[in-house]
């Protein structure tokens, strides 16, 4: 488990860090408050331990930003505070902090609080999985994807960050079903899903959009990053040998991908962006399949 500790006190690294490292936790230490948010985006830790005395920006500003960002809002945050910091702790809880650890660090308390927070978050994730996942592939379902899409789009507009969207379709999927049966088609869908997850970043959001079609959202990704990721997805599927349970037949499967980019400068609806990616996907199909096409504005 990865824990990011953001604090400028020496005891946070020498004492708190040692407690966690000795128990097998992976620890990332950040002392400069200006670097905290960027490191969290880069590392995506399982738990954040945030010193309440950080300044410029202060810990509460950092906490508020983390809890307003779709990609980091669900990461549990524990504050480092003295028992006399009641007013700051009150604000911290209001902004979304889960718990706090007081100095001097007491090993049993630290481990218990970390254990409790991870246990609770794991149970929540299990419940969310039942509601938010496609029953066959284990990817996000369309409903959850659209909820996150609205949030990520609003974030992109607010902070003028690029956002990329892909529509991906399995080529000649009907032929697979007609030739080998729908059970085999289901196996191919599962294997395609695993291939996508093996390539995409943790912060990317991939969902089964319907049938053999998938939709992928890449936050904070420009045109170069999106095309690189799309080509890697296409090549990964093309190079994989697919198979069906109980059959020695090895199938060659390809995908077509349509890509569109949003730079946050003008307001566009999710449906408009999906339409753009879908149009690019249509061009990829018409152009011979097994290719990536960028939407031309």
Q: Find the domain containing 224 and state its range.
A: 142-294
Q: What is the pLDDT of residue 171?
A: 96
Whether residue 134 is contained in a domain is answered as no
**pLDDT computed for residue 83 by the predictor:** 66
For residues 123 and 239, membership in a common domain is answered with: no
The 26-30 sheet, strands edge to edge:
26-30, 2-6, 47-51, 77-80, 99-101
Structure tokens at 101: 């650890």
Same domain? For 7 and 118 the reply is yes
Q: How much is the pLDDT for 122?
A: 83
Backbone phi and psi for residue 215, each to the nearest 5 degrees, phi listed first: -125, 140
Are 53 and 117 within one domain? yes
Q: In this structure, are 95 and 191 located in the same domain?
A: no
- The distance of Cα 293 from the centroid of its chain, to the nearest Å, equals 24
Q: Are residues 189 and 211 in the same domain?
A: yes
- List C-alpha distances in Å: 158 to 39, 153, 167, 265: 21, 9, 25, 9
Looking at the domain assignment, is residue 137 inside a domain?
no
Cis? peptide before 179, omega within 30° of 0: no
Q: Which of 129, 164, 195 is the last residue of a domain?
A: 129
Angle at Cα 202 formed by Cα 196 and Cα 208, nearest 5°?
40
What pairs with residue 50 in β-bridges?
A: 6, 79
Q: Are 259 and 226 in contact (CB under 8 A)?
A: yes
Reduce the secondary structure of 80-98 to three states and give it as a string. Answer: ECCCCCHHHHHHHHHHCCC
Shared-domain flag, residues 158 and 76:
no
pLDDT of residue 197: 95
Number of domains in the chain: 2
Give, to the nearest 10 degrees, the angle between helix 142-159 and helix 107-132. 120
Integer-rounded Cα Rg, in Å, for the chain is 22
151 and 117 within one domain: no
pLDDT for position 207: 97
Is residue 34 one of the residues assigned to a domain? yes
Which residues does the annotation mark as catalytic? 212
Overall size of the chain counted in residues: 297
Same domain, 290 and 148: yes
- Are 174 and 233 in the same domain? yes
Q: Do 246 and 181 fall into the same domain?
A: yes
Residue 135 is assigned to a structural domain of this protein:
no
**Tens of pLDDT along the chain (297 residues)?**
899 999 988 888 899 999 999 999 999 999 998 999 989 988 889 999 999 888 889 999 999 989 888 788 889 999 988 767 788 888 888 999 988 898 889 899 999 999 998 888 888 777 777 778 998 999 999 999 999 999 899 888 888 889 999 999 999 999 999 988 899 999 999 999 999 999 999 899 999 999 999 999 999 999 999 999 999 999 999 999 898 877 777 889 999 999 999 987 777 889 999 999 999 999 999 999 999 999 987
State whether 166 and 284 are in the same domain: yes
Angle formed by the axes of helices 142-159 and 270-286, nearest 10°: 110
Q: Are residues 12 and 60 in the same domain?
A: yes
Residue 136 within a domain: no
Q: What pLDDT score does 281 carry?
A: 97
Is the Cβ–Cβ distance between 77 and 5 less than 8 Å? no
Last residue of a domain, one of 129, 154, 186: 129
CATH number at 282 reads 3.30.70.270
Domain end point (choices 100, 129, 158): 129
């Amino acid at each position: 488990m990865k824990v990011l500790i953001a604090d400028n006190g020496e005891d946070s690294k020498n004492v708190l860090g040692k407690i966690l490292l000795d128990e097998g936790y992976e620890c990332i230490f950040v002392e400069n408050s200006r670097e905290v948010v960027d490191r969290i985006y880069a590392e995506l830790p399982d738990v954040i331990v945030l010193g309440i005395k950080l300044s410029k920006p202060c810990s509460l500003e950092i906490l508020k930003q983390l809890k307003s960002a779709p990609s980091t809002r669900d990461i549990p945050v524990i504050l480092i505070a003295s028992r006399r910091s009641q007013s700051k702790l009150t604000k911290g809880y209001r902004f979304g902090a889960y718990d706090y650890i007081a100095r001097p660090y007491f090993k049993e308390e630290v481990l218990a609080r970390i254990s409790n927070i991870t246990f609770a978050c794991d149970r929540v994730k299990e419940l969310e999985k039942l509601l938010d996942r496609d029953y066959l592939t284990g990817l996000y379902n369309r409903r959850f994807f659209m909820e996150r899409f609205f949030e990520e789009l609003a974030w992109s507009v607010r902070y003028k960050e690029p956002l990329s969207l892909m529509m991906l379709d399995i080529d000649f999927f009907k032929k697979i079903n007609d030739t080998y049966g729908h059970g085999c088609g289901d196996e191919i869908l599962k294997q395609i899903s695993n291939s996508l997850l093996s390539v995409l970043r943790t912060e990317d959001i991939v969902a089964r959009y319907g049938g053999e079609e998938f939709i992928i959202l890449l936050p904070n990704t420009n045109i170069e990053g999106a095309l690189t990721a799309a080509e890697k997805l296409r090549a990964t599927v093309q190079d994989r040998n697919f198979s069906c349970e109980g059959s020695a037949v090895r199938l060659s499967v390809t995908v077509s991908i349509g890509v569109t980019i949003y730079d946050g400068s003008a307001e566009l609806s999710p449906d408009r962006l999906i339409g753009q990616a879908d149009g690019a996907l249509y061009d990829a199909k018409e152009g011979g399949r097994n290719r990536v096409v960028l939407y031309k504005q």
